Amino acid sequence: MSIDQATPLPWQAPIWSRFIANRRDGRIAHAYLLAGPSGVGKRQLALTMAAGLLCQSPEAGLACGHCRSCRLRIAGSHPDWRLVEPEARGGVLKIDAIRDLIDYSHLTSQYGDHRVVILHPAEAMNRASANALLKTLEEPPPGVVLILVSHDVAGLPVTIRSRCRIERCPLPDSAQAADWLGEQGITDAGRALAAAGGAPLAAREMAEAGHIEMLESLAGDLGELLEGGRNPVELASTWQSSGSLMVLTWMQRLLTTARRLQCNARDGLAMTLAPGFAKAVGGLPPRRLHAVDRQLQQLRSADRQPLARELAMEALFLAWLIPEADIE
C-alpha cells in the first residue's frame, strides 16, 4: 500500500477512535505497539497514525492529503518520519538500522510537533537491535512517536513491550472481513478467508497472487507424503520456486487445520481441501503434530540465516516424517 492511501480499515475503528481522542486530549504516547496476527492491516494502521500526526490540517484525525506536510509525505521526502523495515521480507532488522533510527530521533522536527518512526515488524530485531532501541524507549526524545508493528508480540522482549502502549489488533468479524473483500473485488471471499486463517489483507494477497490454489495443492502433496506416496526430496524440488519462507508459512497454516481436525473443530480451510489431507493427518497422534510444529518453528528461525536457506525446503518436508522414536 502506498503511503498516500493511509486510512484505517473498518475493523480498526475502536483503535482509531482511541488514538484520535488521545491526540485531542494531548495524551499521545511516545511509543505504540500494534500487536496481532499477520494480515489484519497493522502496517496500514501505523501509516494512518503517522499521516494523521504529521498532517498540518487533519480532518477527524485523518491526514488531509493536501497540506505541505502531506505532499512531502506522499512524495516520500518528509523529514519528520521514517519507515524502518528489513531489507528483504523475512529478514532481520539490524543494529545499524536501529542506530540510524536513534540518531534521527534526536533531530529537531521541521514541520510540526511530532517526528514519527514506524518499525515493522518489530520482532525482526535481533538482541543487539532490541537492546539499542530500549535506550530510546526508556528516555524518549521530546516529540518522537515510535510505532512498533508486531505479528508475534511474544517474540519481543518484555522490556520493549512494557514501555509501549499496546493496541491489540485481532482478526475481524468474518462477515465484516468478507464484506470488505467483496469491495476489493475478491469474488470467493469465504474461501480466501479460510485459506488465510481469517486475516483479510492476507486473504486478498493470496487471492490476487493465486496462492490459494497453491496452498490447496500443497495440502494434497502433504497428504500423499504422509501416506507414503511421495518423496520429500522430490517435493522439495517441486516447491523450490515458491521459496522456503512462503512454503513454511503455508505449512504452518495447514498444521493449524490438522490440529483442528483432530479436535473435531470446524475449520473453513479443511472444507476446501482434497480429502486426502484430512485422512492423512487424522491418523497422526497429537504429539506427532506437536513435534512437526516445533520443527517448523526452528526452521523459521533458521531461515533468517542466508546459509541455511538452500537446505530449508527439503527440511520442511522431512519435518512431517519425524520417526515416532525421535519424538520427545
CA distance 241 to 221: 16
Q: What is the pLDDT of residues 112-127, one digit of tens each?
A: 788 999 999 999 999 9
Q: What is the pLDDT of residues 60-89, one digit of tens each?
A: 899 999 999 999 999 989 999 999 999 887
The reported pLDDT for the residue numbered 308 is 52
CA distance 62 to 46: 12
Amino acid at site 81: W
Backbone angles phi, psi at 29, to 5 degrees: -75, 155
CA distance 149 to 48: 13
CA distance 143 to 240: 47
CA 83 to chain centre: 15
The reported pLDDT for the residue numbered 312 is 81
CA distance 85 to 120: 5
Structural domain boundaries in the chain = 3-168, 210-326
Lowest mean pLDDT among 227-236, 281-290, 299-308, 316-325: 299-308
- Which is it for the CA torsion 106, 112, 113, 115, positive or negative? negative
In terms of pLDDT, which residue wins out, 38 or 327? Answer: 38
In terms of pLDDT, which residue wins out, 264 or 252? Answer: 252
The reported pLDDT for the residue numbered 325 is 52
Q: What is the pLDDT of residues 308-317, one digit of tens each?
A: 555 689 999 9
Q: Give CATH superfamily name and number for 3-168.
A: P-loop containing nucleotide triphosphate hydrolases (3.40.50.300)
Q: If pLDDT is split at 50, 70 and 90, which confidence band does 186 have? A: very high
Q: What is the pLDDT of residues 47-63, one digit of tens each?
A: 999 999 999 999 989 99
The reported pLDDT for the residue numbered 324 is 66
Q: Whole-model pTM?
A: 0.88
Residue 60, judged by CB atoms within 10 A of its CB (0-12, 13-18, 19+), counts as exposed
Q: Is the pLDDT of residue 2 over 50?
A: no
How many of the other CB atoms lie within 10 Å of CB of 232?
17
Q: What is the DSSP string of 197-239?
A: TT-HHHHHHHHHHTHHHHHHHHHHHHHHHHTTSS-HHHHHHHH
CA 239 to chain centre: 23
Q: Is the pLDDT of residue 307 over 50?
A: no
Backbone angles phi, psi at 144, to 5 degrees: -85, 130
CA 213 to chain centre: 21
